[in-house]
Amino acid sequence: MSSVISGFLSKRGAGRGSRPADIQPPRSKEKYMSVTESKVKTERKSSRKPAKTQETVLSALLAETAEVSVPLASLIKSPLNVRTVPYSAESVSELAESIKGVGLLQNLVVHALPGDRYGVAAGGRRLAALNMLAERNILPADWPVRVKVIPQELATAASMTENGHRRDMHPAEQIAGFRAMAQEGKTPAQIGDLLGYSPRHVQRMLKLADLAPVILDALAEDRITTEHCQALALENDTARQVQVFEAACQSGWGGKPEVQTIRRLVTESEVAVAGNTKFRFVGADAFSPDELRTDLFSDDEGGYVDCVALDAALLEKLQAVAEHLREAEGWGWCAGRMEAVGECREDAGTYRSLPEPEAVLTEAEEERLNELMARYDALENQCEESDLLEAEMKLIDCMAKVRAWTPEMRAGSGVVVSWRYGNVCVQRGVQLRSEDDAADDAGRTEQMQEKASVEEISLPLLTKMSSERTLAVQAALMQQPDKSLTLLAWTLCLNVFGSGAYSNPARIRLECEHYSLTSDAPSGKEGAAFMALMAEKARLAALLPEGWSRDMTTFLSLSQEVLLSLLSFCTACSIYGVQTREYGHTSRSPLDSLETAIGFHMRDWWQPTKANFFGHLKKPQIIDALNDAGLSGAARDAEKMKKGDAAEHAEHHMKDNRWVPDWMCAPRPQAETETTEYRDNQADAA
């Protein structure tokens, strides 16, 4: 390409190549921007069409080329013209009438062919209109046509630019054009410079060019869109692409595949890396190319990673961190594991945790902390400086806590590094349990469970928080259509197969309790869960056909994707888990089993604050909450405070963790849980 540009530059002001002797130059010469000047361009967009105001290398070269005239009979459509979709007879006829009335207003762009012929790279519709006039004997065969002659290697680029500007170029044509230019040896950056596209857009279209031919044929025939192609491009194997495409067609409404179905079939054993805390911690270098699937069409340059490979890499890195801490701090043993050591039966029989010793700051550390705290309190808003101050304060506190463990304590216990709530969790002072310890700890475990009993929570707070929890589960279930539809089918089957058929058709009743839930939940209508539900409701409401509430048949026009979305959303809105208390006994939450099934975590939707939670607790309950979250130091500080200050104190220390009170969480699944118990709870929730 550089030789072409330099060739054009060397011809400025000289003759324009081998033109026929009877061709006259244009009567006036306009001033054009030079090729060098054209390199100062406006910022490119990554959209399909180049910006109209944008100068490209090709447009600069065309500006340097003078118009000439050639006989109409010498013009044919160029074999390098990327246009494959035929022009409509109506559009050609309209253009022919325009040329007949006012003449040819825009020149054609051609390149030389053997035998004194010229291939039209840009202007195919104009050529068709001129030939129509010639067939009607309105124009003679030697009628002079204004053209610009360009080198053959720029013909494809000229054709793509022409089609992109004049008529909406079909995506299949653009893909074929980019592929042809790449086969000529042009890089994505060079193609982008010629046409005014970003290199990334070119790379994306070249990625689609590698799809199986049958898929590109479906795109050209408008049976699928570029969105379908982008989802299929996640799979590199063309045979697998065809398998996924055919499977999606078979499952789609009317044989038309759904984009989300294609994406699910390609990545069914994988998870997205975008926003994935595990992947961010492990890093892309921990995986082989076979374990990573790059999504070139993702705005955040995301992709997918194999689930098993991700967990294996995470466990390996956690073990490495544990080994480092054991050597650096002098612990007797170490372990890296996926979950923190907890109070479940398996862990309780294997480990026990030593009480965390009280950290003692040195005089220098106390002075530094006071200085940092004063600077921190002087800042009105959170900013980069406040983050740095907070990080240093946490570091000083952590160093003091580690130093509090004596050499004897470290030698007789270990450090466990795990993954908890999207962060690395370090537990120091963990001892391996002997059989004699079991009896001693049984009473203590029972006492802790009794302290956290839901019966100690006031009924108003129970109503508030179970309402908050219900809205959060609704929002989480809404985001998992497959689980939502499973719950719907299961609930209907309970009625149909469990208690006989109905005499009247479709006796299905749904009660949406959003009014009472938002009235009771502390977050009201401003909570993240309710706002997410309302956003989805607004989106779906816009898709409902006109007059739908009066005529069921209007829903026959909806696509399968929309119908499934409506079913999923309505099912989610039917969830109800507000707990009650009668005769001193609190009902068990019907949400427990459902939360386990959908991988729900309350802190994805709710943040405990003084206003919405801690302020409604008694001071001992606030202290218990801090201890339960592993913040024993903060709990000791809260003991010296008034209740209001302790509530603010708890809010501050709980903001960066994922703690939720036990009575607001689903219990850990146990092997002896009866199937009937699951059934009853699910039936109550739906």
Q: Which of 163-167, 290-294, 564-568 has the lowest mean pLDDT?
A: 163-167
pLDDT of 571 > 70? The answer is: yes
Taking residues 581-596, what's their average pLDDT? Answer: 80
pLDDT for residue 622: 93
DSSP 308-367: HHHHHHHHHHHHHHHHHHHHHHT-SEEEE-SS---SSHHHHTTEEEPPPPPP---HHHHH
State residue 78's pLDDT score. Answer: 85
**Mean pLDDT of the region 111-139:** 88
What confidence score (pLDDT) does residue 64 get?
79
What's the rounded mean pLDDT across residues 162-187?
A: 76
User: Mean pLDDT over residues 669-676, rounded?
Assistant: 40
User: What average pLDDT does the segment 538-560 reach?
Assistant: 88
How high is the pLDDT of residue 606? 93
The residue among 38 and 456 whose pLDDT is bigger is 456
Residue 423, classed as helix, strand or coil, is strand
Residue 305 has pLDDT above 60, yes or no: yes
Average pLDDT over residues 424-437: 81
- The mean per-residue pLDDT over the stretch 260-286 comes to 86
Q: How confident is the model at residue 528 (pLDDT cuts 50, 70, 90)?
A: very high
Rg (CA), the chain: 35
- Whether the model clears a pTM of 0.95, i.e. scores above it, the answer is no
Percent of the chain with pLDDT over 90: 24
Residue 344: what pLDDT? 62
Those residues whose C-beta lies under 8 Å from the C-beta of residue 678, and which sit 6 or more positions away, are 593
Average pLDDT, the chain: 79
- In this prediction, residues 349-369 reach a mean pLDDT of 87
Which pLDDT score is estimated for 583? 59
CATH for the stretch 2-207:
3.90.1530.10
> Residue 247 — very low, low, confident or very high, per pLDDT cuts 50/70/90?
confident
What is the residue extent of each domain of the chain?
Answer: 2-207, 222-308, 311-454, 455-608+660-685
For 621, the enclosing helix (H) or strand (E) is helix 619-628
Cα distance between residue 202 and residue 313, in whole Å: 34
Q: What secondary structure, in 3-state letters, does 451-504 show?
A: HCCHHHCCHHHHHHHHHHHHHHHHHHHHCCHHHHHHHHHHHHHHHHHHHCCCCC
Most confident of 158-167, 247-256, 645-654: 645-654
Rounded to 5 degrees, φ, ψ at 430 are: -90, 125
Distance CA 359, CA 343 (A): 24
Comparing 88 with 424, which gets the higher pLDDT?
Answer: 424
Lowest mean pLDDT among 203-212, 416-425, 631-640, 675-684: 675-684
Q: In which band, very low, low, confident or very high, does the pLDDT at 668 lie, cut at 50, 70 and 90?
A: low
